[in-house]
Structure 1
Amino acid sequence: MAKVPSKGVAENLRKFIPLNTLSPGALQRLSADIRFESIGMGEFLFRKGDTDQQHIYLLSGRVSLMSERVELDVVVGGSNLAKFPLAHRIPRECSAIAKSQCEIARVEGTRLMPLLKEAERVSSQKDHSQDTGGDWMTQLLRSRVFQQIPPANIQAVMRRMTPVEVEAGQEITRQGESGDCFYLINRGSCQVSRTTNDDDTELLAELGPGECFGEEALLSNRPRGCTVTMIESGILLQLSAEDFSNYVKNSLFRSVAFQEAQELATAGAVWLDVRRTSEFRTIHIPGSVNIPLSQLRERLAELSQESCHIVCCKDEQSSTTAAFLLIEAGIEVVLLKGGISGLSQEMLDTYLADTDSSHSGDQDGMSKADAESDGALPQGQGEHALIQALEQVRGERDDAKEQLEMALGKIAMLEKLLVEQQCEAAEGGANTPPDVVALRAELATLSVALDESYEDYEKTLARAEAAEAECDRLKRAQPAGAGGQD
C-alpha cells in the first residue's frame, strides 16, 4: 500500500547506497518520484525472475530473500545490509518476502541512473586536490561495476582495500608481468602506456580519482598488457587478486546457456562477438556484431546503452574482460556460457533454421562459408557492401599485424635469453648446454613462423588497400546526391 512519507524521510534516504553519492538537489528531484509503501507480513516485495528496474530499500522490518524454497538471507531494517537495494540484480535472482510488517521505498531505475551519471560527471570535473580521506568509499560506490555486485561483497571489498601512498613517476604495473592487484585511484593521476616491438611508447589513456585499473589481467589470467605510471603523487586503494576474484569477479557476471541467449536476442538483445576478425569470419552467429577485444575500449561508443549485449568469444575467457568494460560504460551485459566452442553443430543448425532470413542472408549464419571463400571483394554490390567488406579486411589486417608483433616480441625475448645463456657458457668454459641448443631450435622455428606472418600481413594489407581504392572509385563514380545500393 502506497503512503505519504513523514517529514524528513526523503532526506534520510541519503544513508542508502548509491543515493548517498547524489547532490542535495539531485536527491530532492528524485524524492518526488520515490514511492513509500507498507508491506504486510507474508507479502512479496518481488519474485524471482522479475525484470522491473526498481531499487527497493528496506526502511524498517525484516525481509527474507528466498530461492527455490531456500532462505538465502534475512535483511533487517537499519542494518548495514539494508543500506543497499534488495537483491538489485535484474532479472531478480531471488524472491523477497516480508517476515514482519515492513516499510519500503521504491526508486525507479530509469530516474535514478541519469542522476548517478550526472553525479559521476560532476565528480570527475571537481578539483580532487581537496578530497578528504573518506572519499574513496564514495568513489567506490559510484563505480557502475561495484553497483552490480551483492552488498555483502561490497562491504568485504571495503574492509580489504588497502590505501597505498605513491609518488610521481612511480611505476605501479608493468607490461608483461602477471597481475597481482586491482587498483582504485583515490588521489592523483596516472598514465597508461604500452611499449611496441619497435621500443616506442604508446600513450593509451590518463586516469584520475575514482577510476580503476589492473582488472584486465586478473579477469583474463594473462600478463598485463600495459604499464601504469603515476603522473603525480597520490593515494591508490589496492585489492589483492584473490579478493578481487572472490568478491568481484565471481559475483559480477551472469552467464546464460545458448537457449536463453537466443530468447534474449529475440527480445532485442545484441550479440557481441569479441574474437579476432579472422575467427569471426570462419564461424559466427547470425546478426552478431564483431568488435575484437583489443579494439573494444576505443569502440564502446558504437554500442547502445539501451540494449542488453550477449558477449561471446571462443571459450568465455575473453568475454569476462569485455563484460567488465561494458559494465563500466553502463551497458547491460550477459555472457554466453562456454563461448562459441561450447556450441554443438546441432545447436548451430537449429539456430540457423530459426533465424530470420534477413539475418542469414547477409551473415550466412554459423556456417563456414566465409572461410571457404577466396577472399575476393564483392563487386557491383554498392557502397554499403563494400564498406562492410572494407571493415572485415581492416580487421584481418589488424589481426595479422598483431600476430606479427607477437612473433617479433617473442623472437626478441628468445634472442636476449640466447645471448645470456651463451655468455654464461663461455664464462664457464663448458660445452654448449642443452638450454642453448633448445633456444636455438625454438628461435629457428619462430623465424619460419615470422616469415609466414609477414606473408599474411602483406596479403591482408594489399586487400585492405584494394578495398579502400574500390570504395573511393565507387564514390567518385556516383552521381551527386545518389545513395549506395545494396
Structure 2
Amino acid sequence: EQVGNAADESALFADAFHVFDPQGKGFVLASDLEGVIARLGQRVTPDELAQMISALDGGKTGKIHYQEYLNMASATVMQQKRAFSAGEVIFREGEASDYFYLITSGRVRKLTKPPHGYAHSQWVAAEEELSVGDYFGTSAILGSGCRHSTMVAVTDVQVVALARDDFEFEGPPPRRRLSERRGGRFSPERSLRFINMMTNNEPRIFGAGEVLFRQGEEGDTMFILKSGRVQVSLVSSDGRKHIVGERGTGECCGETACLSANPRNCTIACVSDEGCETLCVSRADFLELVRGSWDVRHDLIALSERHSREKERRVNFMRTRDEVCGGFDDEDVLA
C-alpha cells in the first residue's frame, strides 16, 4: 500500500509540474512561472521572479529542473501531510474552517445537508465520494469561515493540508463593492481566482468590437476578463437594443447560461481599443467547481443573480423612458 501511495503522490507532483511546464521541457523558466502567476490574477516584478527561481535553482542555471521541484514538493508534503483512519470524521458541518485538503491516497465521503428551503439545492449532492487528486474544504481559502459539509474517511486516507496563506500573494487586496464588504461572505473575486487555478482554462484574445458571444447562443463557456472592458447588451421582445452596462478586469460573463443550461440572455462585445484578454472556462469545469464547493456555488449564483437584476432594472428603465419619450434604441441615444 505504501508503494501505491508513493505512486499516487508522484503522479500528483507530475501533474502539478505540467501546469508550469506544459511543453514537457523538464524545467521551468521565469517566463513559465510568470504565466501561471498571471493566470491567478497576480503580477510580479522581474526581480521577484528571479528570487522565486533562485530559491529552488540549486545549480544556478536560471531554471527549476523537475528533480529540484520534486525535492521541494516532497519536503512540503511531508510537512503538511495528515492521515485519517477509515470511519474517522475529518471535520463536521458548522466547525470553523482551518485547512483545505488534497487527497493523496484513499477515499473520503462528503455529506452535505442544504439549509431548509435552499433555492439552489439542485447543485448540492447529499452524498459524494472523493478519491486521489480530489480536494475538499474550500471554505478555508474562500473566506466563508465555517464548514458546510461533514467529511468522513471511507478508507485509510492521507491528505495534504493547506492553509489560506498557501494561496495568498503579497499585494493590495482586490477592490470590492460596498455591498460585498457589508455582506461578508460574497467574494466573487476570490472564487474567480480559485476557478482560474483549478480549471484548464483557455486564454482567448478579442479585438475592439469583436463579440465574445451573442444573445440566444448556447452557453457552453464562461469568460473571466484579464484585461480590457466589455459591453453588455440585449435585445428586448419588441426588437430594440438595450445597453445594460460594462464589465472590466477581474469580472466575468457567461456564468448564467452555464448555470441554467439556457441560451445566452445577452450579447457581450469587447469595447476596449487595445482589445480584451480573457480566460475561457468550459461549462463542464465550471459546474464541477460549483458542485464541489459551497463557497464557489454561493458566490457564482449570487453574482449571476446580481447580473440578472442589473439587466431587469435596465429594461424596466427603458420601458418607462419609452412611455415618456417614445421608443428608440440605446445606440440612438449614445449617437
Q: What band does the TM-score fall into relative to the shorter chain?
A: 0.3 to 0.5
TM-score, normalised to structure 1, is 0.32
